[in-house]
Amino acid sequence: QLKLVNPSQYRFEHLVTQMKWRLQEGRGEAVYQIGVEDNGLLVGLSEEEMRASLKTLRRMAEKVGADITVLREREVDYDSDIPRKITEVLVRKVPDNQQFLDLRVAVLGNVDSGKSTLLGVLTQGELDNGRGRARLNLFRHLHEIQSGRTSSISFEILGFNSKGEVVNYSDSRTAEEICESSSKMITFIDLAGHHKYLKTTIFGLTSYCPDFAMLVVSANTGIAGTTREHLGLAMALKVPFFIVISKVDLCSKATVERTVKQLERILKQPGCNKLPLLVNSDDDAVTAAQQFAQSPNITPIFTLSSVSGENLDLLKVFLNILPPLTNSKEQEELMQQLTEFQVDEIYTVPEVGTVVGGTLSSGICREGENLVVGPTDDGKFLRLKVCSIQRNRSACRVLRAGQAATLALGPFDRSLLRKGMVMVSPEMNPTICSVFEAEIVLLFHATTFRKGFQVTVHVGNVRQTAIVEKIHGKDKLRTGEKAVVRFRFIKHPEYLKIGAKLLFREGVTKGIGHVTDLQAITTKENGLEESLGPGQLSF
């Protein structure tokens, strides 16, 4: 917008309608640049005009129920005596009906690079003592506390309110409070760095469908261990990533620079083709967030310390402005399809019964809805009812496509469920298969890859061992070669979709690809079976 000085009533209404539309398109967020003509010419406004324009903008925002924050101001050298300025303003809507913006960020990096500590500092709001105190609240198992190594996938939340201020556990006691006062939530998926837990890390990246990945590299060790592998995983799954160089308080400036140079060299390699962008100021952070979402080739790099807190604010500014990848139109299209929920985790909660956690990949799911879950070991689907829904630990009536949540299933028998199942609406008539074909690229293999080879296949939330039944047109494959391969699951059929991304591994063997063809198993009478809760008799 160029200027918004004393608009007429009609123009004001028009501007408000425009703002409503912009907010809806950006799912509750929009960035306005004031002092820029529609064709992108930087004109700038005088102090007085700017003040009046911001006042109008504030009035507009009040009308649609949003808040505004000034991101940055900058002077333009224009041939006039009065200094002229351009201002960028973030308009964010106060969330109504629990529709806060939810971004999922997967946290990757080598073991001991400071992933959990950084998350501890961001979400708890107090700095680390240099001995890992900040991460203690993130660990889920006793052996993690003792060894200091993450082995499971844990979720941490960081909120931003509509004014762009951080909402975390420092001023809120519970997760519900954070959800209530935030208009934007960032869910960090803390993954394991150690090589031993690689399958857990892959599962976290494929099944939780993160929007972005944050690769944490320790400044004193540089790129070591699983860093390259995690970088490769993010590239293979096409997850846009940014890099955080941690522990800069431990080493000299030269060492930090050396690590940055090392990263830049790797990012510019032909395989990566990324444009590194080092963030040193708030200005850089704003630019990085806007560019990063528009072109996935840009990789912002932050250098920070979880102990001294140096440059932590820049990361917060970046996360605050980071726009979602999908716009509202794509989400609405997904919501019109039939319900499909991926089961990632299964719990038993006292007095609630069986609870499943996962992501709703399409459709809408409401409390009290009847769905079918499967496939079981013999390829059947069982009926069940969704008793209640929780999102980020607070109750929620309706779940929309793309959102992660936990669903309570009441007295449903937990032993019938496993990770990798799907819950779909009964009219979907889901296709399940034991044999499928995929076009793959072999990334690394010690010898040749041939018929009869067993690999662990990851497709979304499905994780199972499969046997290579046939390689079309070839006898064997070597590193770097492409082929269409037929796989057969060894244990039970799974629900797959054509076009789904696929990752397989076995020891040092790794490959990626996508599903091209399924040999569907027809289930008798849709394979629907009544699952009997306790206390019901079958005749």
Same domain? 484 vs 407: no
Same domain? 163 vs 294: yes
Shortest CA distance to 287 belongs to which of 480, 457, 9, 33? Answer: 33
Which of 275, 300, 325 is the last residue before a domain boundary? 325
Q: What is the pLDDT of residue 530?
A: 43
**Neighbouring C-alpha atoms within 13 Å toward the C-beta of 22:** 19
Which of 60, 93, 126 is the last residue before a domain boundary? 93
Question: For the stretch 439-467, what's the b/e string if a residue is b when 16 or more beta carbons lie within 10 angstroms of its beta carbon?
Answer: bbebbebeeebeeebebbbbbbbbbbebe
> Phi-psi category of 353—alpha, beta or left, where left has phi over 0 and alpha has psi -120 to 50?
left
- C-alpha 368/C-alpha 389 separation (Å) is 9
Same domain? 404 vs 445: no
Same domain? 169 vs 257: yes
Q: Can you tell me which residue has the tokens 């979880």?
A: 306
CB neighbours of 338 closer than 8 A, spacing ≥ 6?
362, 363, 424, 425, 427, 428
Give the predicted TM-score (pTM) of the model: 0.79
**Is residue 529 included in any domain, yes or no?**
no
Question: For the stretch 335-355, what's the b/e string if a residue is b when 16 or more beta carbons lie within 10 angstroms of its beta carbon?
Answer: eeeebbbbbbebeeeeeebbb
Q: What is the pLDDT of residue 172?
A: 73
CB 168 within 8 A of CB 178: yes
Instruction: Measure CA of the first residue to CA of the last residue in the chain; give whole Å.
Output: 72
φ, ψ dihedrals at 91, nearest 5°:
-105, 125
Same domain? 142 vs 222: yes
Q: What is the pLDDT of residue 77?
A: 74
Which domain, by its residues, includes 477?
432-520
Same domain? 176 vs 127: yes
Same domain? 253 vs 352: no
Number of domains present in the structure of the chain: 4
Shortest CA distance to 391 belongs to which of 400, 401, 404, 379? Answer: 404
Same domain? 301 vs 396: no
Shortest CA distance to 524 belongs to which of 426, 379, 420? Answer: 379
Q: What is the pLDDT of residue 392?
A: 76
> Phi-psi category of 200—alpha, beta or left, where left has phi over 0 and alpha has psi -120 to 50?
alpha
Same domain? 442 vs 297: no
Same domain? 379 vs 444: no
Same domain? 240 vs 387: no
DSSP letter at 533 equals P
CB 277 within 8 A of CB 301: yes
Running along the chain, 539 residues long, what does each successive block of 10 average in pLDDT?
A: 83 90 84 86 87 91 89 79 86 69 89 88 85 74 70 84 85 78 88 82 84 93 86 88 94 93 91 91 91 88 93 93 78 87 90 91 92 89 92 83 89 90 88 92 82 92 92 88 94 91 86 91 52 37
Same domain? 401 vs 486: no
Which of 93, 126, 155 is the last residue before a domain boundary? 93
